[in-house]
Amino acid sequence: MRILLVSPSNNEAAYLHKALQEGAHSVQRADDYRDGVFLSTQERFEAIVVLAPKSNSYAELIEVLPKFSAALNMPALIALLGPATAAERVRVLRAGADACFGQPYSLIEMQERMQSLRRVVSPPFTPGLVVRSSLKLDALTRELVEGERRMAVTRREYLLFECLLRDLNAPVPRDQLIRYVWPEKDDVDPSSVNLMVARLRRKLIRFFPDIRIETISRFGYQLSVSR
């Protein structure tokens, strides 16, 4: 899942960023609300997670939440507060959040809520949803699965495959793949994508010969799946 994490730099944001990445998500960081709102209109995200760890920041959060309504792809909007009363959480929900959690919150519960919200709006692709019969990506084991067939992938291979699956049977620009797979890096050698695609092709030939990653000249790649 492509996630936009909006929060000032602090220990909690750093922990959440790392935890989401380890959960096989592609995470883009924004250090303030203004940048977060701008990024949400420039790229397709499945979820936007906004942190307001102190009670004196709740008013600013409530003011900015409606601005995310212009975000592309109708992402799930999750607000994470510090210690908060039920009344404070309700005000955040009324301001536009799809879900609101106060400390202490469960990371697992938050991720499950994001997945359930994405199922409601029916995105082009969400990990765990059917792509062809029983073909799916398993975020827990980082495998491509269909029936008895299973293909293990690394974390970055998982992200690349997920990005291609979001636009199944359609070309995906190389720069979009780079942002999705290496969201924490500003400069990535394009050859890194080539090498990863080559490794995935070798795995697919062995485990899923009916799935192909095709090169689109001077553009990027396309995942083609026979139905």
How is the chain split into domains, by residue range? 2-121, 136-225
The C-alpha atoms of residue 174 and residue 67 are separated, in whole angstroms, by 30
Contact between 64 and 29 under an 8 Å Cβ cutoff? The reply is no
Domains 2-121 and 136-225 share a fold: no
The C-alpha atoms of residue 169 and residue 225 are separated, in whole angstroms, by 7
The C-alpha atoms of residue 21 and residue 209 are separated, in whole angstroms, by 29
Residue 119's pLDDT is 64
117 φ/ψ angles, rounded to the nearest 5 degrees: -65, -35
The helix (H) or strand (E) run that includes residue 107 is helix 107-121
The C-alpha atoms of residue 53 and residue 48 are separated, in whole angstroms, by 16
The C-alpha atoms of residue 185 and residue 32 are separated, in whole angstroms, by 19
Residue 190's pLDDT is 81
Average pLDDT over residues 27-54: 93
The C-alpha atoms of residue 214 and residue 2 are separated, in whole angstroms, by 22
Pairing status of strand 171-173 against strand 220-225: antiparallel
Handedness of CA 19, 22, 25, 31 (dihedral sign): positive
As a residue count, the chain comes to: 227
- Using one digit for the tens of pLDDT, what is the confidence trace for 64-100? 999 998 898 889 999 999 999 999 999 999 999 999 9
Contact between 182 and 188 under an 8 Å Cβ cutoff? The reply is yes
Please provide the average confidence, as pLDDT, over all residues in the chain: 88
Contact between 84 and 55 under an 8 Å Cβ cutoff? The reply is yes
Q: For residue 201, what pLDDT band results from cuts at 50, 70 and 90?
A: very high
Distance of CA 52 to the CA centre of its chain: 20
Which phi-psi region, left, alpha or beta, contains residue 152 (left: φ > 0; alpha: ψ -120 to 50)? beta
Instruction: Name the fold adopted by 2-121.
Output: Rossmann fold (3.40.50)
Range in 65-69, 111-115, 220-224 with the lowest mean pLDDT: 111-115
Between 120 and 125, the higher pLDDT residue: 120
Residue 126's pLDDT is 45
Q: What percent of the chain has pLDDT over 90?
A: 59
Q: In what order do the strands lie in the sheet with 136-138?
A: 136-138, 143-146, 149-152
Residue 117's pLDDT is 83
The helix (H) or strand (E) run that includes residue 76 is strand 76-81
Give me the residues paired with residue 79 across strands: 50, 100
Q: For residue 127, what pLDDT band results from cuts at 50, 70 and 90?
A: very low
CATH class of the domain at 136-225: mainly alpha
Handedness of CA 84, 106, 76, 51 (dihedral sign): positive
